[in-house]
Amino acid sequence: MPQTPADKPLIVLSHEMLLSLQPLLEGAYTVCRLWDYPDALAFLDGPGRGVRAIVHAGEMVLTRDMLEQMPQLGLIACVSVGYDGIDVPWCKAHDISVTHSTGLNAGDVADHAVGLILAAWRGIVEGDQRLRAGHWTHAERMAPRHGLKGRKVGIVGLGHIGEAVARRLDAFEMKVAWWAPRPKDTDRPRADSLLALARDSDVLVVCARPDAANHHMIDKAVIEALGPQGLLVNVARGSLVDEDALIAALKDGRLGMAALDVFEQEPTPAARWVGVPHTVLTPHTAGATLDSIPAMVGMTLENLRRFFHGEPLASPVGG
In the chain the first and final C-alpha atoms are separated, in Å, by 35
Q: Is 151 a catalytic residue?
A: no
Q: Is 135 a catalytic residue?
A: no
- pLDDT the model gives residue 319: 66
- pLDDT the model gives residue 42: 80
DSSP string covering 148-205: STT-EEEEE--SHHHHHHHHHHHTTT-EEEEE-SS--S-SS-B-SSHHHHHHT-SEEE
Which of 266, 302, 309, 311 is catalytic? The answer is 266
pLDDT digits (tens, 9 = 90+) for 126-160: 999 999 999 898 877 767 889 999 999 999 999 99
Most confident of 64-73, 129-138, 251-260: 251-260
Q: What is the DSSP letter of 311?
A: P
Contact 164, 106 (CB under 8 A): yes
Which of 15, 224, 284, 302 is catalytic? The answer is 284
Distance CA 93, CA 260 (A): 35
pLDDT above 90 (res 318): no
pLDDT above 80 (res 94): yes
Distance CA 268, CA 217 (A): 20
- Average pLDDT over all residues of the chain: 94
125 phi/psi in degrees, rounded to 5: -70, -45
Domains, the chain: 10-104+291-308 (3.40.50.720), 106-281 (3.40.50.720)
Number of helices (H), then strands (E), belonging to the chain: the values are 11, 11
- pLDDT the model gives residue 144: 86
Q: Is the dihedral angle over the CA atoms 267, 272, 275, 276 positive or is it negative?
A: negative
Q: Is 278 a catalytic residue?
A: no
- pLDDT the model gives residue 3: 46
**Partners of 11 in the beta sheet?**
31, 53
**Partners of 205 in the beta sheet?**
155, 233
pLDDT above 80 (res 186): yes
Which of 59, 237, 243, 306 is catalytic? The answer is 237
**Residues in CB range of 157: below 8 A, 6 or more apart:** 178, 180, 206, 207, 208, 209, 236
Over range 50-55, report the average pLDDT. Answer: 97
Q: Which is higher by pLDDT, 267 or 2?
A: 267
Count of other CB atoms within 10 angstroms of residue 56: 27
Distance CA 277, CA 177 (A): 27
Contact 22, 42 (CB under 8 A): no
Q: How do 175-179 and 203-206 pair as beta strands?
A: unpaired
DSSP string covering 230-271: -EEEE-S-GGGB-HHHHHHHHHHTSS-EEEES--SSSSPPGG
Residue 213 burial (10 A CB sphere; 0-12, 13-18, 19+): exposed
Percent of the chain with pLDDT over 90: 88
Question: Angle, to 10 degrees, between the axis of helix 160-170 and the axis of helix 106-121?
Answer: 50
**Residues in CB range of 128: below 8 A, 6 or more apart:** none
